[in-house]
Amino acid sequence: MGHHGRVHAQDEAAPPQSAAPQRGGGMFPRTTSFRSRRSALSDAQRRLWERRWPELGTEVRSPDDTGPPAPLDTAAWFGRPAPLVLDIGCGTGSATLAMAQAEPELDVLAVEVYRRGLAQLLSGIDRAGVTNIRLIRGDAVDVLHDLLTPGCLTGARVFFPDPWPKARHHKRRLLQPATVALIADRLRPGGVLHAATDHADYAAQIAEIGDAEPRLRRVAPDAALPISVARPVTKYESKAREAGRAITELIWERRPA
């Protein structure tokens, strides 16, 4: 067993139904779904990071990895076996924190590439004494491919991913067919993929991709599901609504095996 409960196992391949999504490495040479940003932590954030990150956070590729990253042993990391939810692109973590507090029976892996956003979430976790969130810094595609195994997730949440509105940038959108196929592979039967966006064109694309994935079926928000699909309204969403942009919710569940 390695860093943060990682078990050394053979690397899982992407599902055969779709071409594998491009994977990054070394922060991050491939075409990615996120923008480059540099922002320093405040002194208080840095001190908290040094104190809590070794316990609650990890990088996609840890300094201990000499080969491909080993899958996470989440039961060891959280200290219990529990249904697992992947929060992709958690930003500053306000929604992540609120939803984790509302569902203490679930364990949440919050993935974000930006250190400052993770530092803000870490501050919220520390203040609230929340115990069911762990943080991963890195590309969500790499997390799905390298750190998670088939059928390990009860839910995956992707709220307001960057829409990359210019046509020439659409290839950078996160929710492409290969990535949705990879998410479907990591969901257990009955597991939920929940996406939300305020960008109409991206919403249509996500809907088409999700509906075309044979292991997923669309469900209504009031369906009986293993995770809540009620979301707190974030500052970003409030601004989107004030600007007149409609919010589209898209929910699928993994079909029975």
Q: Is the pLDDT of residue 13 over 50?
A: no
Selecting among 162, 201, 211, 222, the annotated active-site residue is 162
- The answer to whether residue 171 is domain-embedded is yes
Q: Is the pLDDT of residue 216 over 80?
A: yes
Tell me if 77 sits within 8 A of 5, measured CB to CB: yes
Q: Is the pLDDT of residue 37 over 80?
A: no
- The answer to whether residue 141 is domain-embedded is yes
pLDDT tens digits along 54-97:
999 999 976 666 777 899 999 999 999 999 999 999 999 999 99
Q: What is the pLDDT, as a whole number, of residue 40? A: 85
Q: What is the pLDDT, as a whole number, of residue 22? A: 54
Query: What's the number of CA atoms in the CB half-sphere (13 Å) around residue 172?
Result: 16
- The answer to whether residue 62 is domain-embedded is no
- The answer to whether residue 2 is domain-embedded is no
Minimum mean pLDDT range among 14-18, 52-56, 187-191, 242-246: 14-18
In degrees and rounded to multiples of 5, residue 59 shows phi and psi of: -95, 155
Residues belonging to the chain:
257
**CA R_g for the chain:** 17
| Total tally of structural domains belonging to the chain | 1
Is 166 assigned a ligand-binding role in the annotation? yes
- The answer to whether residue 250 is domain-embedded is yes
Please state, in angstroms and as integers, the Cα–Cα distance from residue 74 to each residue in 174, 200, 227, following that order.
24, 36, 18
Binned at pLDDT 50, 70 and 90, residue 5 comes out as low
- The answer to whether residue 12 is domain-embedded is no
Q: Is the pLDDT of residue 29 over 50?
A: no
Is 202 assigned a ligand-binding role in the annotation? no
Is 11 assigned a ligand-binding role in the annotation? no
If one counts every other C-beta atom within 10 angstroms of the C-beta of residue 159, the result is: 22
pLDDT tens digits along 176-214:
999 999 999 999 999 999 999 999 999 999 999 999 999
CATH number where 178 lies: 3.40.50.150
Tell me if 118 sits within 8 A of 43, measured CB to CB: no
Residue 222 among the catalytic residues: no
- The answer to whether residue 44 is domain-embedded is no
Write out the residue range of the structural domain in which residue 89 sits. Answer: 51-57+75-254
pLDDT tens digits along 118-165:
999 999 999 999 999 999 999 999 999 999 999 999 999 999 999 988
Closest CA to 22 of 169, 185, 145: 145
Is 239 assigned a ligand-binding role in the annotation? no
Long-range contacts formed by 42-51: CB under 8 A, 24+ apart: 44/123, 45/116, 45/119, 45/120, 45/122, 45/123, 48/119, 48/122, 48/123, 48/126, 49/119, 49/122
**In terms of DSSP bridges, do strands 153-159 and 187-197 run parallel, antiparallel, or are they unpaired?**
parallel
Report the C-alpha gap between 251 and 218 in whole angstroms: 6
* Residue given tokens 């990591």 in the structure block: 186
- How many angstroms from the chain centroid is the CA of residue 86? 4
- The answer to whether residue 104 is domain-embedded is yes
Structure tokens at 219: 């469900």
